[in-house]
Amino acid sequence: EDKVVQSPLSLVVHEGDTVTLNCSYEVTNFRSLLWYKQEKKAPTFLFMLTSSGIEKKSGRLSSILDKKELFSILNITATQTGDSAVYLCAVEEHNAGNMLTFGGGTRLMVKP
């Protein structure tokens, strides 16, 4: 079964809107959760979360982890067309040597 599930699968918004992307996971030996942004090429790193309740923030993007409920959200405020991408969530487990299990991604399109 899928270990990492993202929702929604896709999303279309207009510039200036705020979006919330969801990632739920089910692993036995959680170590960290990571968010990546993928435009046309390679995924690029956004955030790594290891502790519940501590918000990570970078400009208009922010993310938080809930280890009790096993999910994370990625918020993007005041969206811009440049935010259009696939957002990937991945989970790392202990004793798995940095090996990441990725969710299916959320495809975000921001219209002018």
Partner 1 sequence: DAGVIQSPRHEVTEMGQEVTLRCKPISGHNSLFWYRQTMMRGLELLIYFNNNVPIDDSGMPEDRFSAKMPNASFSTLKIQPSEPRDSAVYFCASSLGGTSNTGELFFGEGSRLTVL
Site residues (vs partner 1, CB under 8 A): 31-32, 34, 41-45, 48, 50, 88, 90, 92, 95-105
Nearest residue (CB) to partner 1, 48 versus 73: 48
Nearer to partner 1, 79 or 90 (CB): 90
Q: Are 75 and 18 in contact (CB under 8 A)?
A: yes
How many C-beta atoms lie closer than 10 Å to residue 8's C-beta?
A: 12
Question: How near is the Cβ of 95 to partner 1 at its closest, in Å?
Answer: 8
CA distance 84 to 2: 25
Query: Among residues 3 and 17, whose Cβ is nearest to partner 1?
Result: 3
CA-CA distance, 29 to 76, in Å (whole number)?
A: 29
Structure tokens at 45: 């790193």
Closest approach of partner 1 to the CB of residue 97, in Å: 5
